[in-house]
A and B are shown apart, each in its own frame.
Chain A
Amino acid sequence: MSDGDVLAVAEHRRGELRPVSFELLTAGRELADDLGGDLHVAVIGGDVDGFGERLNRAGVEAVHTVEEGEEFNHDVYAAATAALAGSVEPSVLLLPNSVNGLDYAPAVATRLSTPMVSDAVDLTVADGLVVTREMYGSKVETTVEVAADPVTVTVRGGEWPPAEDHGDAEIIPFDVDVDEASMRSTVRGFEEVGAGDVDIGEAEFIVSVGRGIEEEENLELVEELADTLDATVAASRPIVDNGWLPKNRQVGQSGKVVTPTVYLALGISGAVQHVAGMKGADTIIAVNTDPDAPIFDIADYGIVDDLFEVVPELIERFA
């Protein structure tokens, strides 16, 4: 690898830096240490001066501010990131593995002819960069060695602690020429979805159901359990995608974040996007037939069994 610099690109939405931005700084600093290089950070669009101040954390050498638009637009981000990479010449480009990260990282990698590794959960350095990532819905962990410089890597949120301490980075404005002809998309606005009668975000006891329930009719069993326990019914995404429950019941990355005292997960595998919404529960209990289901990794209590056997027993005990 060359001088081993790392360029991390922050993410913000509607005036706020998103938490993953500060996690990227930690991942980036660790990596730059291993590579013997500097950590550069870029922030594109919005209040870049304010954002630049906040991104000035210990270990950051330079914050590049790109004044270009208010909100994320992938045409701007791809152009600016590629131009910055040309100027900073990093060995590793670190971008968030967020919905917006995935909306421009592959374009940047393609434009720069770099390999792209998404959803990294760990990064180390050997002969080249070694990226740990998961496959098959978190049931298999793989390591991928990348012998290229530069490399584009997207980093999973929540895997690195956020950088906290203030630093003494140089703040450097960076101008990019975003060619009008290359602008093929226009962001028209935002909309909150998923409001409704029940706010699962406020619920103290949650009975949450996943694809393990198999049929819409079987939801009755779960409703009955929730009634008996005086709990609120929530669900993983497929249940909502199927139209079996409204969107305001979806827990996860694109649904709601819940923080109940008890989260009882029935037939939910524990995909990372689901876990993002419920890992803050005080007590997590999982019932799942698959002993290798990732949900057991974050559960406090687990039963490896058929929910259709366990739930009726439980209803009987509380009835």
Chain B
Amino acid sequence: MKVLVTVKEVAEVADDFEIEGLTIPEKFLEYDLNEWDDYAVEAAVRIAENRDDDVEVVAVTVGPERSEETIRMALAKGVDRAVRVWDDALAEADLVEPTATARVLAAVAEAETPDLVLSGVQAADDGFGATGVALAEHLDYGWAAVVNDLELDGEEASVRRELEGGVEELTTVSLPAVLTIQTGINDPRYASLRGIRQAQRKDLDVRTLDDLGLDPAVLDGEMTLSGMAKPESESDATLFEGSPEETAAELETVLRDAGVGAE
């Protein structure tokens, strides 16, 4: 069995950041493995650990060289090998539509023919939440989005989809399938020192769109980023300032007025 897990290195903005035009300068960004993908990696590695048959886990990312650091974390956690797709066309695109990213990932998946693809529900940076399901559609695979429990048996995946308001849907999906993984499905491990050492020796295969037989025109989206700003604060919050003693005293007044602490 082969499991493909899609991972993304996402940027997080610092507490104090600025926007310049349509970008946030590098100095305000910190990079990390997308939280939702971390759970997907864990789910994939557990499948490999818990099954008797041979399971190969392959990670795929679309990202610049810098993201290799993040992919190595997935390798260190037990992913067998990794594929990274990048080239000038991807580097130059200011906004890659989720359906286009899915097209690129689909080209990798077509070559790998996995039985199961695990993606994160969404990426913490652009928050499109669309790549996994679009990927399934490109591959003509079944799918399930927002999965917080997964059992595989034979030709089927039995999943729980986490709906709104504490309701879960129980669904079966035939394989091959793409599942988008929600946080909370498992408890992602930390990479061990040994894992980190081993990761250095694992395969990290770098491909261009051309290698995948894709025309750069697949990125020619009809979407352009035209504005980026810090949201206008609609806040009419009263901010308490001063030392913790002072702010806590102000807070006490508000709380007591609201009836907190009344006998």
Contacts and interface: CB of A to CB of B under 8 A. Distances in A.
Interface in A218-268: 228-231, 237-238, 240-243, 247, 253-257, 261-262, 264
Interface residues of B, number: 87
Contacts of A237: 183-184
B24 interface: yes
Interface string B228-254: 111101111111110011011111101
Contact of A134 (B24, B98, B231, B251): B231
A130 to B, nearest CB: 7
A231 B260 contact: yes
Contact of B127 (A118, A147, A304): A118
Interface string B106-141: 000000000000000100111111111110111001
Q: How many residues of A sit at the interface, in one of the four size bands?
A: 35 or more
Interface of B: 11-13, 15-17, 19, 24, 95, 97-99, 102, 121, 124-134, 136-138, 141-146, 160-174, 177, 183-184, 187, 221-231, 233-241, 244-245, 247-252, 254-255, 258-261
Contacts of A105: 130, 133
Interface stretch (A27-35, A43-51, A62-70, A181-189): A181-189
A262 B12 contact: no
B134 A109 contact: yes
B11 A136 contact: yes
B164 A314 contact: no
Interface string A83-126: 00000000000000111101111110111000111110000000
Contacts of A291: 15
Given A110-B137, A301-B240, A188 B170 contact: yes
Contacts of B146: 99, 102-103
Contacts of B162: 99, 254
DSSP class of A's interface residues: helix, strand, loop or mixed? mixed
5 contacts: A107-B133, A115-B221, A118-B130, A297-B234, A313-B248
A303 B240 contact: yes
Given A13-B163, A110-B138, A119-B129, A313 B244 contact: yes
A149 to B, nearest CB: 9
Nearest to B257: A283
Contact of A141 (B167, B231, B241): B231
B166 A118 contact: no
Contacts of B183: 237-238, 241
A205 B133 contact: no
Interface string A297-313: 11111111110011011
Contacts of A191: 160, 167-168, 170
Contacts of A316: 248
B260 to A, nearest CB: 5
A102 B162 CA distance: 12
A188 B184 CA distance: 22
A302 B170 contact: no
A145 interface: yes
A109 B145 CA distance: 15
Nearest to A191: B168
Given A116-B99, A300-B237, A229 B187 contact: no
